[in-house]
Amino acid sequence: MVAIKLIPAEEFQRVRESNVDKYKKLAVLADMNRANTLAEVKRAGSGHLGSSFSAMDIVTWLYHEEMNILKVGFESPDRDIYFSSKGHDVPGLYATMYSLDALPEEKILSLRRLGGLDGHPDLNIPGIEANSGSLGMGISKGRGMAWAKKHFGNGGRVYVLTGDGEWQEGQNYEALQSAVQQKIDNLTVIVDDNKVQSDKLVDEIMSLGDIEAKYRAFDWHVQRIDGHDYRQIEKALDEVKKVTGKPQIIIADTIKGRGISFMEHPIALEIGKGLYPWHSGAPDDESFEKGYSELIERINGSFSDLGLTPLKLKDIAPEEKRPPASMLAGEPLSQAAQEKLSAKVTDEFVARAYGQALVDIAARRKDIVVLDADLSSDCKVRDFEYAYPERFIENGIAEQDMVSMAGGLARNGLLPVVNSFASFLASRANEQIYNNASEKSKIIYALHYAGLIPAGPGKSHQSLRDISLFASLPNCIILQPCNAEESRMVVEYAVEDAQENVALRFIIGPSPRKIQLPGDYKLSFGKGVALTNGNDAIMFAYGPVMLHEALLTSELLAERGFGLKVVNLPWLNRVDAKWLEETIQPYELVFVLEDHHPSGALTDHILELLAASRNKPLAKRRLLRFAVEGWPACGTPQEALKYHRLDGASLAERVLEAGDA
């Protein structure tokens, strides 16, 4: 493991107290923040570097020179308010707050860990003013804060940072109109115009055109600056404070990845052969060391110019390896069970198999059209984009527009396959999905990033409502495959056999284990398949993450002489009632393991079927649901699962407790 170092808070204080030119001082402080951002993302194993670095000079100026927060305090009603609407750049914000002693060291070292710092801004962290990560909401939210300040007669301004790709979301344009109509002149929006969104140029995804002219057309006060030039930042922020009667926008031309040469656009796009490699995720060891050395060398050069002694770094101790949790308090697990608990994830991606299946089927189905919301790589449809560019439609960050376009395509004889993260597609475009469904045409919705895991980005990206939203449609079938093989089956079913709309749920990462289906397994409408045998209880589950935990539960319980039958049930709202009754007939204890909030998912559907049966199957048995209760935890997969008591060890305890009750 590569050694990770942190620039301690006292080093920032040393720079702040130095008697040197403020612009040079801020430049070195920004680079120090970049170094700590790189360290925290590397330690976390994921995060967003490119946008953290592009916004860093703006954020450093705001906190060190512009805002009154440190003077009046984060709780003062007269404080200035700053938050990022895009949210991706929050590791850089955390580093900035740490540099001003607004966050403790232990928090910086716990990015994307349970009890630490969320992967997107969250109000449970002191100093964070708004939850974000779901794009396009920030200006509206900032307008509300600015309006409230005026209403109560409080001082302070509201500053909202947006990304440039974020301006593909329509809510921004509604906010532009409203803020002018309401004369919100204590609101300043700053656009981090770094020209690159998740992995491609904004102009390639969905060009914004002349945004300066657009903002002026809405009658905002508009300025354009170099977002890395402190004199221009200072001048622009001084000017907006003189504007009365209208809100203001500062378009800051920035460089994505600013501060590390090979992460900067356009060099990074050349390295990535047209794709930006540093938007999300942690750098590999070689890239980390190379980038960190570049930053530290430049910082020490600046220290020398400022007459300061070289930078002192602090070694960060590696994270402790936690022992596997015991199935029962005080009872050690067998070596085999510990190995299962500690097992590493596989290299199998259900979403990758989905993308490959689309490419294969599209060769014979000329009506298939794939729509994407700037997530082609994550949703594994880039191969389709390359294979069938004439049938690939990039809609940018605009799910509502994309879904309604799909409705128009479907009404004219095409089969649209709509892709985005489940949390954004299912909820943001819910009204548009409902409208399409009411037209009784067929659309396939691919819901990526479904469920609790990965938990590092936080609640804005953890989709735990999508089953209930799609299940409320009378003509939509919801499926979640457990492995690559079943992924291909559900895509084939959705395209060739389904007469209704189909929602396909996919986890975004690799499977925790390869889920082994019987050799003769075929997808059968409304029916699941047993993965283990057991005579004491039965558990239904779906998807690679929860099936892995269910299988682990069965394995741990087997050591205690308790037989748990695990059934993979990919049909989340279309279960065959006769098959269900026959399957549970030998068992008094029936469990359902959900990768969802408790309401509106598989358990409710099963309960409805059993309650309606004339055979009264519920009269002799207990049905218990294990689901993600409350707000989802942010952290590593193991931390989040254990927090919600959905890991194999915790589930084993819960099953035994239920059996004793």
pLDDT 10s digits, 249-294: 999 999 999 999 999 999 999 999 999 999 999 999 999 999 999 9
pLDDT for the residue numbered 659:
85
Q: Is this prediction's pTM over 0.85?
A: yes
Cβ pair 291, 53 in contact under 8 A = no
pLDDT 10s digits, 591-643: 999 999 999 999 999 999 999 999 999 998 999 999 999 999 999 999 999 99
For the cut 90, the answer to whether the pLDDT of residue 339 exceeds it is: no
The C-alpha atoms of residue 591 and residue 624 are separated, in whole angstroms, by 5
List % helix, strand, coil for the chain (3-state, nearest 5).
Answer: 45, 15, 45
Instruction: Compute φ and ψ for 401, nearest 5 degrees.
Output: -60, -45
The C-alpha atoms of residue 145 and residue 139 are separated, in whole angstroms, by 10
pLDDT for the residue numbered 113:
95
pLDDT 10s digits, 181-212: 999 999 999 999 999 999 999 999 999 999 99
For the cut 70, the answer to whether the pLDDT of residue 320 exceeds it is: no
Q: How confident is the model at residue 20 (pLDDT cuts 50, 70, 90)?
A: confident
What's the CA dihedral at 434, 435, 440, 443 to 10 degrees?
A: -70
Q: Which two tokens stand for residue 199?
A: 């992995």
What's the CA dihedral at 170, 175, 180, 184 to 10 degrees?
A: -160
The C-alpha atoms of residue 489 and residue 486 are separated, in whole angstroms, by 5
| Rg of the chain taking only CA atoms, in angstroms | 26
Q: How confident is the model at residue 432 (pLDDT cuts 50, 70, 90)?
A: very high
The C-alpha atoms of residue 593 and residue 626 are separated, in whole angstroms, by 5
Pairing of strands 564-568, 529-530: antiparallel
Q: Which two tokens stand for residue 406?
A: 């799909």
The C-alpha atoms of residue 91 and residue 280 are separated, in whole angstroms, by 11
Q: What is the mean pLDDT of the chain?
A: 94
Q: Which two tokens stand for residue 534?
A: 């057991």
pLDDT 10s digits, 386-407: 999 999 999 999 999 999 999 9
pLDDT 10s digits, 442-477: 999 999 999 999 999 999 999 999 999 999 999 999
The C-alpha atoms of residue 640 and residue 453 are separated, in whole angstroms, by 8
- Choose the weakest-confidence range: 171-180, 269-278, 341-350, 512-521: 341-350
Q: Which two tokens stand for residue 488?
A: 């291909």
pLDDT for the residue numbered 319:
80
Spatial CA neighbour of 416 closest among 356, 367, 369, 476: 369
Spatial CA neighbour of 650 closest among 611, 603, 593, 598: 593
Residues 305-329: what's their mean pLDDT?
73
Please name the helix (run of DSSP H) or strand (run of DSSP E) that holds residue 6, with its range, or none: strand 5-6
CA distances (Å), origin 263, targets 42, 271, 292: 15, 9, 12
DSSP string for 262-309: GGSTTHHHHHTTTS-TTSSSPPPHHHHHHHHHHHHHHHHHHHHHTT-P
pLDDT for the residue numbered 331:
45
pLDDT for the residue numbered 183:
97
Residues 6+ apart with CB under 8 A from 284: none
pLDDT for the residue numbered 416:
98
Q: Which long-range contacts does 231-234 make (Cβ < 8 Å, 24+ apart)?
A: 231/23, 233/57, 233/58, 233/61, 234/61, 234/65
Residue 162, CB-side half-sphere exposure with 13 Å CA sphere? 25
pLDDT for the residue numbered 492:
98
- Choose the weakest-confidence range: 95-104, 345-354, 508-517: 345-354
Q: How confident is the model at residue 321 (pLDDT cuts 50, 70, 90)?
A: low
For the cut 70, the answer to whether the pLDDT of residue 332 exceeds it is: no
pLDDT for the residue numbered 133:
87
The CA-based angle 277-279-284, given to 5 degrees, is 55
| Residue type at 480 in one-letter notation | Q
Alpha helices in 593-647 (DSSP H): 602-612, 637-643
Instruction: Compute φ and ψ for 393, nearest 5 degrees.
Output: -120, 115
pLDDT for the residue numbered 324:
44
Q: Which two tokens stand for residue 552?
A: 């682990």
Q: How confident is the model at residue 342 (pLDDT cuts 50, 70, 90)?
A: low
Spatial CA neighbour of 508 closest among 552, 569, 462, 443: 462
pLDDT for the residue numbered 553:
98
Percent of the chain with pLDDT over 70: 96
pLDDT for the residue numbered 323:
44
pLDDT 10s digits, 480-539: 999 999 999 999 999 999 999 999 999 999 999 999 999 999 999 999 999 999 999 999
CA distances (Å), origin 45, targets 42, 49, 457, 459, 479: 5, 12, 11, 18, 30
pLDDT 10s digits, 550-582: 999 999 999 999 999 999 999 999 999 999 999
Q: Which two tokens stand for residue 271?
A: 């390295």
Q: How confident is the model at residue 410 (pLDDT cuts 50, 70, 90)?
A: very high
Percent of the chain with pLDDT over 90: 93
The C-alpha atoms of residue 464 and residue 481 are separated, in whole angstroms, by 16
Residues 6-10: what's their mean pLDDT?
97
